[in-house]
Structure 1
Amino acid sequence: MTIDLNSRYGLNPAHSEVVAASKIIAPCDTLDMGCSNGRNAIYLGQLGFNVTGVDTNPGAIDMLQSISIEQDMQNVKAQVYDINTANLGQDYGFISCTVTLMFADPTRVASIIADMQQCTLAGGYNLIVCAMNTEVHPCPVPFPYTLKAGQLSDAYQGWELIKYNEDVGTMHNGAKLQFATLLARKPA
């Protein structure tokens, strides 16, 4: 049984979609895009994934590094990285990008997704959870970027969609909005 390091360090629990994906995906080299303080990176690291957490916030990266050092989690690394550069430069078996794209530069999102796809090993996985703005469910939060209906699944044509939905959900702050959730496997 693993210790709940997230609550020990005052982090939110790992995202439910990361938890679900970790039951399908074998531990591998993993990228947590927009990792913040590391709630998903710490969780996956405890399961044996080799995780690199990236975020633009140096304070968040420092916190994740401190936790990984204090817990001797040599399989969890953290680095400052702006996802808008869309230049990962390394391949991963699993790239997770949960509630991150909506804070990206809207003109860069297509490049960010293309870079994620390019840097995913054959047979590897991408997980994306992103807010949507549709006529039926207008987004109540003024995020810089939101997805339109079908937009995310269209970007993953040719990949095996393990999970895809566009459901109304609740953010950790209680706001209700529609999210596109995708777990896709790159052809081997």
Structure 2
Amino acid sequence: MPSSLPPSPPATASVAAPSEWIQRFAHLLPSQAHVLDVACGTGRHAAYLQGLGHRVTGIDRNPDALAQLPAGIQAVQADIENAAWPLPGQQFDAVVVTNYLWRPLWPQLLASVREGGVLLYETFVQGNEAYGRPSRPDFLLAPGELLQVCAGWHIVAYEHGLRTAPERVVQRIVAINARHAAPSPLPLMASTLPAHI
């Protein structure tokens, strides 16, 4: 059954289109949510979510990329792979991660999602090496890895498979931090494992 996507904010020449996965599940965020966009780059998701009325913080190590973020987005320059986490103790209504994997950050990313908050994650998985980069195992999820990482959370949606335009193999998840929260009033979608998504 097709799902309707929230309207996109006006596009700019410098910002790429947001991931269809993020667009599809942005409706799970509460009104005026505080969102953390990890490894945000030039801000395709930060700009999209800001356009929906959310307050966004973007982290990236590249100052040139952060300089392209739209006004109003909090930019945090940090090397999150080699230095201390720049937002200790802070929690967000949603954490968004796309096309990025650094496994030592799993505990920090999960801890950054408040109880009842949402993790939206999409990145490359084993098998992507047949289509291009990344191809190193360090940067490719194992089958089912996101499900293991989010064990104990409410899984709203999960997919693993081949995407086209461009061809790549990805794994993606939407999970609600419900370890201590009341069950979500939202109906949860069955997890899916399509061969082609």
Q: TM-score range by the shorter chain?
A: 0.7 to 0.9
Please tell me whether residue 95 in structure 1 is matched to residue 95 in structure 2.
yes
User: In 2 relative to 1, CA 4–117 (structure 1 residues): closer, same or farther, beyond 3 Å?
Assistant: closer
Match of 1:71 in 2: none
Partner secondary structure for residue 12 of structure 1: coil
Please tell me whether residue 82 in structure 1 is matched to residue 87 in structure 2.
no
Match of 1:140 in 2: 132
Counterpart residue identity of residue 36, structure 2: L
In 2: Cα distance, 1:43 partner to 1:91 partner? 20
53-62 or 137-146: which moved more? Answer: 137-146
Aligned match for 2:109, one of 86, 91, 116: 116
Structure (1 or 2) with the greater helix fraction: 1
Kindly tell me the number of residue pairs found equivalent between the two proteins: 168
Give the unaligned 5+ runs of structure 1: 69-73
Please tell me whether residue 185 in structure 1 is matched to residue 185 in structure 2.
no
Partner secondary structure for residue 65 of structure 2: helix
Deviation of 1:152 after TM superposition, in Å, equals 1.3
Partner secondary structure for residue 139 of structure 2: coil
TM-score (norm 1): 0.80
Match of 2:153 in 1: 159
In 2: Cα distance, 1:62 partner to 1:140 partner? 29
User: In 2 relative to 1, CA 148–46 (structure 1 residues): closer, same or farther, beyond 3 Å?
Assistant: same
For the Cα contact (< 8 Å) 1:86–1:115, is it kept in 2?
no
| Sequence identity percentage | 23
Deviation of 1:99 after TM superposition, in Å, equals 0.9
